[in-house]
Amino acid sequence: MMAGSHVAVGAALWAVTARAAGLEAAEPQALGAAALGALLPDIDHPQSWAGRKMRVVSVPLSMLVGHRGVTHSALAILGCLALLAVMGVGWLAAPVVVGYLSHLLADSLTPSGVPLLWPNKRRFSLNLCRTGSVVEIALVAAIVAAGGWAAGIDLSNLPKPRL
């Protein structure tokens, strides 16, 4: 998926998670942390947003494991769980982890899938949309709308588009 899609899905899924946990669903810093977490798995790609910001990590990681390698695997999921175990579900850790996991879920919707069993090359994919396609945009819009609805975010005051 595209970076913007990852940001939107990560923030939406954090809003739902926060609401379910009894936290403020639209807290800006937590939404930002979830958005950042949603971009982190692509640190293994030097041309990604995260890769361009942290080239000192991105370039060597890309040369060692390539894109959608360890950062998109069950090992990364275990790393997220370890982060929560060490830091708790405090103010930043939980939204970053939800964002990170949302990225893996979103990438599993594409034909490229995710290598959950890395270093095994088998990829897991639901093959629902191609990156950058109209279907991706529609899926992301549906996830964001459902996330906003589930989190109780009132969108009725937004300006209406002019046609």
∠ CA 87-143-16, rounded to 5°? 40
Backbone angles phi, psi at 50, to 5 degrees: -65, -40
Mean pLDDT over 119-137 rounds to 94
Q: What is the domain extent for residue 97? A: 3-19+27-150
Per-residue model confidence (pLDDT) at position 157: 74
Residue type at 105? Answer: L
* Per-residue pLDDT tens digits for 7-57: 999 999 999 999 888 888 878 999 999 999 999 999 999 999 999 999 999
Q: How would you class 114 by CB atoms within 10 Å of its CB: exposed for 0-12, middle for 13-18, buried for 19 or more?
A: buried
pLDDT digits 0-9 by tens, 80-108:
999 999 988 776 899 999 999 999 999 99
Which residues 6+ apart lie within 8 Å of 2 measured at CB? 131, 132, 136
Instruction: For residue 162, tell me if it sits in a domain.
Output: no
pLDDT at site 151: 78
Whether 44 is in a domain gets the answer: yes
156 is a domain residue: no
Q: Is 114 helix (H, G, I), strand (E, B) or coil?
A: strand
Which distant-in-sequence residues (6+ apart) come within 8 Å of 146 by Cβ? 12, 16
Q: Taking 80 as the threshold, does the pLDDT of residue 78 lie above it?
A: yes
Instruction: List residues bridging with 76 in a β-sheet.
Output: none
Question: Per-residue b/e over 7-31, b at no fewer than 16 CB within 10 Å?
Answer: bbbbbbbbbbbbbeeebebbeeebb
Q: Containing H/E element for 133?
A: none
In a domain, 140, yes or no: yes
Q: Are 131 and 1 in contact (CB under 8 A)?
A: yes
Report if residue 66 sits inside a domain.
Answer: yes
Q: How many domains does the chain have?
A: 1
pTM for the model stands at 0.89
pLDDT for the residue 155: 65
